[in-house]
């Protein structure tokens, strides 16, 4: 991949929480309109890494970080976190639609929370387009003013994806987005991820090796806060360079 296709570049990222060195000299480039899976055993720093990208780690007491994360030549660590979160959407492990809001209001929640005024026509367009992108519109169009919690788990997760997409982010972070879902819902989210990469760059934490092989273009393997190996998914899965990567992929630990 060419340098021009890099949308996010992480250089020499170190992250400490009090005396704990969580991320160690992370160097990685994420490519435009590609899906990158981040894998590794529990506690290796996967979620911490993606939470650095949208500055959610800033909320942790005792946090200190060094290095840079550059989104289109801007260092995300020096920008206003609110601005960063408009550029970088996030979907969490468990579906979390706002319980007091309707499906319609959930999609627009980012605008409400940022105090951004929209015309009625803009609201209608954003809600329709975002739900369509999340492959949910046809299922909810007749109940769009019902609470988001009325939906099934898989539908709620797609609503959360629609809510993130509504802000038109450059990057979409997915933190184990299917771990709380049944196999049918998981398959529909995986198909959605493959379709969405034409519109947005996706970085996905997953503990599911099969899922990474099915949906990602690139895979990063983290171990004890270090980036052990990173490359095209097919290459990393079929011909890993490092013994530790091979041991993880063959489930010798994890």
* Global pTM exceeds 0.85: yes
Rounded distance between C-alpha atoms, residue 146 and residue 150, angstroms: 7
pLDDT at residue 2 tops 80: no
- Whether the CB-CB separation of 32 and 96 falls below 8 Å is answered with no
User: Closest by alpha carbon to 161, among 102, 114, 91, 95?
Assistant: 91
- List the structure tokens of 211: 């899922």
Tell me the C-alpha to C-alpha distance, in Å, between residue 189 and each of 58, 101, 105, 182, 207. 29, 23, 22, 11, 15
Helix then strand then coil, % of the chain, to nearest 5: 40, 25, 30
Residue 163 has a pLDDT of 97
- List the structure tokens of 31: 């490519």
- Reported confidence tier of residue 252, pLDDT bands at 50, 70, 90: confident
- Whether the CB-CB separation of 177 and 157 falls below 8 Å is answered with yes
- Reported confidence tier of residue 1, pLDDT bands at 50, 70, 90: low
169 CB neighbour count, 10 Å cutoff:
21
User: Closest by alpha carbon to 53, among 93, 13, 25, 96?
Assistant: 13
Burial of 231 (0-12, 13-18, 19+ CB in 10 A): middle
Burial of 86 (0-12, 13-18, 19+ CB in 10 A): middle
Rounded distance between C-alpha atoms, residue 173 and residue 164, angstroms: 9
| Domain spans in the chain, listed from the N-terminal domain onward | 3-246
How do residues 78-126 score in pLDDT, each as one tens digit?
899 988 998 999 999 999 999 999 999 999 999 998 899 999 999 999 9
How do residues 217-231 score in pLDDT, each as one tens digit?
999 999 999 999 999
Cα three-residue angle 7-115-52, rounded to 5 degrees: 35
How do residues 13-27 score in pLDDT, each as one tens digit?
999 999 899 999 999
34 CB neighbour count, 10 Å cutoff:
18
CATH superfamily of 3-246: P-loop containing nucleotide triphosphate hydrolases (3.40.50.300)
């Amino acid at each position: 991949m060419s340098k021009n296709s890099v949308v996010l570049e992480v250089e020499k990222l170190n992250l400490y929480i009090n005396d704990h060195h969580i991320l160690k000299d992370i160097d990685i480039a994420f490519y435009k309109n590609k899906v990158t899976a981040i894998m590794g055993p529990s506690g290796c720093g996967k979620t911490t890494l993606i939470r650095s990208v949208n500055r959610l780690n800033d909320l942790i007491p005792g946090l200190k970080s060094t290095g840079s994360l550059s989104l289109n030549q801007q260092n995300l660590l020096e920008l206003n976190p609110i601005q960063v979160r408009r550029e970088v959407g996030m979907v969490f492990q468990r579906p979390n639609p706002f319980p007091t809001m309707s499906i319609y209001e959930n999609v627009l929640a980012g605008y409400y929370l940022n105090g951004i005024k929209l015309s009625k026509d803009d609201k209608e367009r954003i809600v329709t387009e975002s739900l369509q992108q999340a492959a949910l519109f046809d299922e909810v169009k007749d109940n769009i003013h019902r609470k988001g919690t009325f939906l099934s788990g898989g539908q709620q997760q797609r609503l959360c994806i629609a809510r993130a997409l509504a802000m038109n982010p450059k990057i979409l972070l997915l933190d184990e987005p299917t771990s709380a879902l049944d196999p049918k819902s998981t398959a529909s989210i995986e198909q959605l991820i493959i379709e969405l990469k034409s519109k947005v760059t996706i970085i996905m934490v997953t503990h599911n090796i099969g899922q990474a092989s099915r949906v990602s273009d690139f895979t990063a393997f983290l171990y004890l806060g270090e980036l052990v190996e990173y490359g095209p998914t097919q290459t990393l899965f079929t011909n890993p360079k490092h013994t530790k990567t091979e041991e993880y992929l063959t489930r010798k630990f994890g």
